[in-house]
Structure 1
Amino acid sequence: MLLPPSPRTVVSSLLVCAATLLAACSEKPDSGPIVASAIGAAPALVDPAKGQLDPSARVLLDSTAQGLVRFDAAGQIEPGIAERWSVIDNGTSYIFRLRDAEWPDGQAVTAAEVVRLLRRQLVPRSRNILAPFLTAIDEIVEMTPEVIEIRLKRPRPDLLKLFAQPELAIFRVAPSQSGSGPFRILAQRGPVARLRPAFDPSRAADDQAAEPSTDANVKLIGERAAMAIARFDAGLADVVLGGSFIDWPIVLETRIAPIARRFDPAAGLFGLAFNNRDGVLANAVNRAAIARSIDRAGFTAAISPEWESTVQLLPEQLDSAAPPALAAWTQASGPDDLSPRATIDAWRAANPGTITMRVALPPGPGATILYGYVAGALASLGIAAERVAPDAPADLRLIDEVAPYDSARWYVARACQPCGGVAQLAIEAAREADSPRLRSQQIAAADAALASDVAFIPIARPLRWSLVSPRLRSWTANSRAWHPLNHLRPDTN
């Protein structure tokens, strides 16, 4: 009987194939434009109102269509199309003054068009992934040709961090898909987009900086992880962006120097949501037995010894009124407590038959390792595991996401996939809260309810990594795990 290849064999084969394809390449990035590989599909300008963006599409959109504000190299807010802003009326009004900016066709960016484009991302039919977290917005209005106001129903101190995300870039769908910079697409063919800095209309015509050197250009390549890693290993790329736990085992099979391997202290969720509440999963006690059985510390150590596991949903208290809640299953078992296997066997005695659980995971060696740990835990309970695609119907589904802003409400809302009625009511009450105090109380109630309900199995915080050459001195680790192409080295800021 033929045995399936081990993850290490698969990783090595991927690298050999990728290295062979790159062997004929002659481009050397020792000087000149940055060559950036983004793990994902070929970079394409995609309208965020139509759904979730591929990682390389996020990079391209952020590079060519800035929002009102942006993230800098450290993940902090900096001006985008808005040169300055103020917050008034107890945090319920944000007023933005736009700077001089223009579209690729030379037309000026106006407040009226910015208002229209932002409204488009927030209408009920929009599939923008940030829309559910922007329901506090009452209206967006043009005050003058250079000033817009965003009026809120309730104060939201984290609004700017949401508006800095690529999903809220000021993106023109028609007459052509485009933005106002900081880069323009010079040429695009297949998986390669060549970018050049956008012209700044505020500069004088005789300003030598108005025409940047070609060294400020960027060659952005969207490709599979094995190709991106092999390209960097061969010295044909300056940076690899968008790495996660899925691809990290591939890096470990290379000779890439440790100094080039960079990690972000990413804040977010990494764990398994219970997507089905039928049969054995209808009972919180059974869900807790499954959660207890997963060796999360063993899994994270198998990926990286530096990757720490966790058993709590919130990374810290954030804007919750209470410290992170801990589920009962995380505590030491008492002498009268049933073991996880005994718990499931008791349910099986009353409900005879085979139990099969579908686990939705992405492809890749890191996910294969995770599946091994999850399948092993289920097998110890007498449950058969079946691996399915990320978007397939499933009983357990991986959530691996970086938080777009620093509110505990994002964590409880994303962990509810679904969750019990008490948690759902608290999450909705937190969204509708008209004061920070009430909001924080409802968030704490939701966190406690999710822990009691066992709706989510925390495993770790998201693992995010980049490969960075020494010439990119401005690359900075940050909790957003976001690295704008115009902030990778001093001469491209």
Structure 2
Amino acid sequence: MASVIGGAPELRDSSRGERPESDRLLADSVAQGLVRFDATGQIEPGIAERWIVTDEGKTYIFRLRETLWSDGRPVTAQEVVAILKRQIAAASRNPLKPYLTAIDSIVDMTPQIIQIELSYPRPDLLKVFAQPELAIIRLRDPAGTGPFRIAHRSRYSLLLTPVRELNRSPDETPEKAPEDNVRLIGESAARAITRYAARRSDLVTGGTLRDWPLLQIAAVAPNNIHLDPAAGLFGLAIVRRDGFLATPENRAALAGAINRSALTGAFSPDWPVTEQLLPEQLDSATAPALSQWVALDQDSRRRQALASVAAWRRAHLEPLQLRVALPAGPGGNLLWARIGADLLAIGIQPERGAADDPDADLRLIDAVAPYDSARWYLAHACAPCNEAASQAIEAARVAPTLAERATAIAAADAAMAADVTFIPIARPLRWSLVSLRLRQWQPNARAWHPLNRLRAAPK
């Protein structure tokens, strides 16, 4: 039995908008894409059995394997092309659509072969296609191709049965083992943790910072709690560039005032901090750029912030207030306590807003990167950024060669570091509760754990 933090899972089409984690896990389980993620977060075949990438990542050719819809009809390339076109259409609200703008055409070459042509090189596109938002879901009687199918549905849970059992005759079907079927439950973090602590489930997945403090009061053994080395952004976007936040110097003072070690340590000693926007070089032409405040020790950062705030208050003869948009929940409360204390310590009156507060000066970005391109980090953190960075980010999107793309990315990174557009704090905090018998579970940078990779391999 597996619990995913979120509402009751439903199989929905991603062109209709963003979905909760429970829906994403269900889609990955019963409606794989052209490719999918394995237990380590690497690419493995989905409905495509093999593929080639040519022309610096401008042409992708997929050969589909023989597979069936839930009603027994064979899946054809024509159907898959129509579904993919729906996800990138003008009216689509698929959250991955902004990362698919380079796609020029999707055509079925034969009943088993699909060719995707791009206007600009994207050698990292396979990891986008592996996301559950691009699972191949048929709209009529929504269904997919496995690796599971829905055997029974109740109000809050689904019983998932491996496709291999449904495709075999009774004489060919091996004797059932407890791990063959999976009951997937979508529920709140509190309920999921309580269920796990009572030994009524083997897995809780989809955990974030928002609910982490609940683990500290739950009777769960430490060796069952696992953190993913999630790649992505966790930090404060500067969404209002006026008042105190109008200058790079003041933004740098604010960035340096955050005591990252104390903040992450309040959650877990295993949660690593970061002081740079890009986690590594990725597809940039240079190593990640660093803002000048990074070279200072914590005491020097605090003194610089105190001086900047004092100078602003003398010039404006009024208190300095900043509104921070943070998520609700116990994790959001703990995060607010740490950030609020750091702001108070340098003379800023902090105010807390909801995650979607339109009047916020600062807003938490907590997102796992869907693929490994530096441009994702830059575009996601630019909320907003200066003209030089914006132009470089756009130049990277439309660059005709990988070398030009890498140069534009490096320029955008340098511009954002100098402008102090974003305040990096740590990697995204993603956690799971994992039974010791689920030996196939592995931490990974995607923080994604396919249900079919938790089970023993079929014999």
Shorter-normalised TM-score: what interval?
over 0.9
**Residue 197 in structure 1 maps to residue 162 in structure 2:** yes
1:188 aligns with 2:159: no
User: Is structure 2 residue 16 aligned with structure 1 residue 50?
Assistant: yes
Paired position in structure 1 for 2:278: 314
1:370 is aligned, of 329, 335, 339, to: 335
What residue number does 1:250 align with? Answer: 214
Per mean C-alpha deviation after superposition, the further-off stretch among 344-353 and 474-483 is 344-353
Shift of 1:189: 2.3
**Which of 352, 363, 377 lines up with 1:387 in the alignment?**
352
Secondary structure at 2:79 match in 1: helix
Trace 1:88-487 onto structure 2 (pairs within 5 A): 88-173=54-139, 175-198=140-163, 208-209=172-173, 215-332=179-296, 339-393=304-358, 394-487=360-453
Deviation at 1:219, TM superposition (A): 0.6
- 1:179 shift after superposition: 1.5
Quote how far apart the aligned CAs of 1:74 are: 1.1
Deviation (angstroms), 1:80 = 0.6
Cα deviation for residue 355 of structure 1 reads 3.3
Compute the displacement of 1:341 (Å).
2.2
Residue identity in the other structure for 1:275:
V
Equivalent position amino acid for 1:271 in 2 = G
Larger mean CA deviation between 277-286 and 473-482 belongs to 277-286
In structure 2, C-alpha distance between the alignment counterparts of 1:146 and 1:336, rounded to whole Å: 60
Q: Please give the alpha-carbon distance, in whole angstroms, between the structure 2 residues aligned to 1:464 and 1:335.
A: 32
Secondary structure of 2:3's counterpart equals strand
User: Which segments of 5 or more consecutive residues in structure 2 lack a partner in the other structure?
Assistant: none
Quote the Cα distance in structure 1 between the aligned partners of 2:222 and 2:413. 38
Distance 1:76 1:338, change over 3 A: closer
Question: What secondary structure does 1:368 align onto?
Answer: helix
Q: Equivalent residue of 1:378, what SS?
A: helix
Q: Contact between 1:313 and 1:324, CA under 8 Å: does it hold in 2?
A: yes
Please give the alpha-carbon distance, in whole angstroms, between the structure 2 residues aligned to 1:69 and 1:278: 45
Q: Answer whether contact 1:248 1:303 (CA < 8 A) is retained.
A: yes
Contact between 1:38 and 1:240, CA under 8 Å: does it hold in 2?
Answer: yes
Structure 1 position 212, deviation (Å) = 6.6
Q: Call closer, same or farther: CA 1:218–1:206 in 2, change over 3 Å.
A: closer
AA of the residue aligned to 1:473: R
- Cα displacement (A) at 1:337: 11
Deviates more, 1:391-400 or 1:101-110: 101-110
Which secondary structure does the structure 1 equivalent of 2:183 belong to?
strand
Distance 2:301 2:377 in 1: 33
> What are the Cα deviations for residues 1-50 of structure 1, in whole angstroms up to 9, with x where unaligned?
xxxxxxxxxxxxxxxxxxxxxxxxxxxxxxxxxx0010112212232222
Aligned-partner SS, 1:67:
coil
CA shift digits 1:199-254 (9 cap, x unpaired): 589x6758714997675111111111111111111100000101122222221223
Deviation at 1:489, TM superposition (A): 1.9
How far, CA to CA, are the matches of 2:292 and 2:91 in structure 1?
40
Letter in 2 for 1:392: D
By how many angstroms is 1:91 displaced?
Answer: 2.9
CA contact (8 A) 1:69 1:160 kept: yes
Deviation, 1:84, is 1.1
Give the partner amino acid of 1:327.
S
- Number of matched pairs: 457
The sequence identity of aligned pairs, in percent, is: 55
Deviations 1:32-70 (A, max 9, x none): xxx001011221223222222211111111111100001
Displacement of 1:402 in angstroms is 1.2
Q: Is the 8 A contact 2:256 2:301 kept in 1?
A: no
1:232 maps to a residue whose letter is Y
Looking at structure 2, the residues matched to 145 and 336 of structure 1 have their Cα atoms a distance apart, in angstroms, of 62
Cα RMSD of the aligned pairs, angstroms, is 2.3
Q: Secondary structure at the match of 1:216?
A: coil
Partner of 1:243, secondary structure, is: strand
Q: Does 1:85 align with 2:62?
A: no
Whether the 8 Å CA contact 2:302–2:346 is kept in 1: the answer is: no
Q: CA deviation at 1:89?
A: 3.5
- Report Cα offsets for 1:271-328 as digits up to 9, x if no partner: 1111112322222222222111111110001111121211111111111111111111
Does the 8 A contact of 1:39 with 1:240 survive in 2?
Answer: yes
Once the two structures are overlaid, the 10-residue window that deviates more, 82-91 or 303-312, is 82-91
CA distance in 1, matches of 2:260, 2:303: 21
1:420-475 C-alpha deviation (Å, 9 max, x unpaired): 11110111111111111111111111111111111110001112211111221111
